[in-house]
Amino acid sequence: MLRLLILVEEAALLKTSNNGPAASSGLILPKQAHDEHALEGERSNYFTASCYYCVETICVLCGVVIAWTKIDKSESPTKILEFLEKVYPTEESKSAYICIDKACLVLHTAVANGSWDRVWKSTTRFIVDAYHYINHRAEDYLCRKWCNPAPKDGSAPNLVVVAYDNRGNPYYKRAFNTQTCEQLNAWLGGFDSIIRRMKPSNFDCYKQTLMYTITSTLRIRCGHHRQDMYPY
């Protein structure tokens, strides 16, 4: 069975403190392109609470949330791979495609550290979502060859299908919506002002409640009843 997972970071930062809500983190985070390695931010002071860099979320195509985790300091490809291996420890559980905004970096890191041959090569292909793929470097051969979300050379027939317009003329279109997580992110943005001021424990509870709410709604709407695939 073909399965495609979509992984995305939430742009909002969670400011955390062990003693109470934080007003400002004092952390200067560098701007990072999605096809460049992440750099850890430098602190401007140590008088304020620390913060997490982002929240990483895994969704299936219909929008149902599979897992999420807080990422500290930077969204590095190594941390993404560790998160994926923790969620999908066996070969049978892995999906055919995993869509990430920085899939080319994740693939490069997986090849470099040996996890590609050891964990992913026989089951999974990393692709970039359609929106972020537009901004990736055109001269990056690895990205264009292996992470293209809609190749027209027939190398990924499950990602591109032939459709017909009103006049019966054939044309290529993407078989899947790779922006599901971005749409979820937009919905979660409405809670940004609340979650920015929470302690880690309160955030975890509130975030899990939000994920349960959206997942339960989507499962009812889509008619999903498989508890093994959708643990919520």
DSSP conformation letters of the chain: ---EEEEEEESS-EE--SSS--S---EEPPP--TTS-----EES-SSS--EESEEEEEEETTS-EEEEEEE-S---HHHHHHHHHHH--STTT--SEEEETTHHHHHHHHHHHTHIIIIITTT-EEE--HHHHTTS-TT-HHHHHHS-SS-SSSS-TTTEEEEE-TTS-EEEEESS-TTHHHHHHHHHGGGHHHHTT--HHHHHHHHHHHHHHHHHHHHHHHT---TTT---
For the chain, first and last CA: distance in Å?
21
**CA triple 68-74-80, angle to 5 deg:** 45
The first and second tokens of residue 164, run together, are 């017909």
The pTM (predicted TM-score) of the whole model is 0.75
Partners of 43 in the β-ladder = 27
The whole-angstrom separation of Cα 7 and Cα 107 is 14
Q: What is the per-residue pLDDT for 45? A: 67
Average pLDDT over residues 44-48: 68
What is the pLDDT confidence band of residue 41, given thresholds at 50, 70 and 90?
low
d(Cα 26, Cα 28) in Å, to the nearest integer? 7
Give yes or no for residue 30 having a pLDDT over 70.
no
Region 7-29 average pLDDT: 44
What is the average pLDDT value for the chain, to the nearest integer?
A: 77
Q: How much is the pLDDT for 149? A: 86
Which of 23-37, 193-207, 213-227 has the least mean pLDDT?
23-37
pLDDT confidence band for 184 (50 / 70 / 90): confident
Going by pLDDT thresholds of 50, 70 and 90, the confidence category of residue 33 is low
Query: Is 80 exceeded by the pLDDT of residue 54?
Result: yes
Q: What is the mean pLDDT of residues 56-76?
A: 85
What does the pLDDT look like over 133-182, one tens digit per residue?
887 777 788 888 888 888 888 888 888 888 899 999 998 888 888 888 78
pLDDT of residue 104 exceeding 60? yes
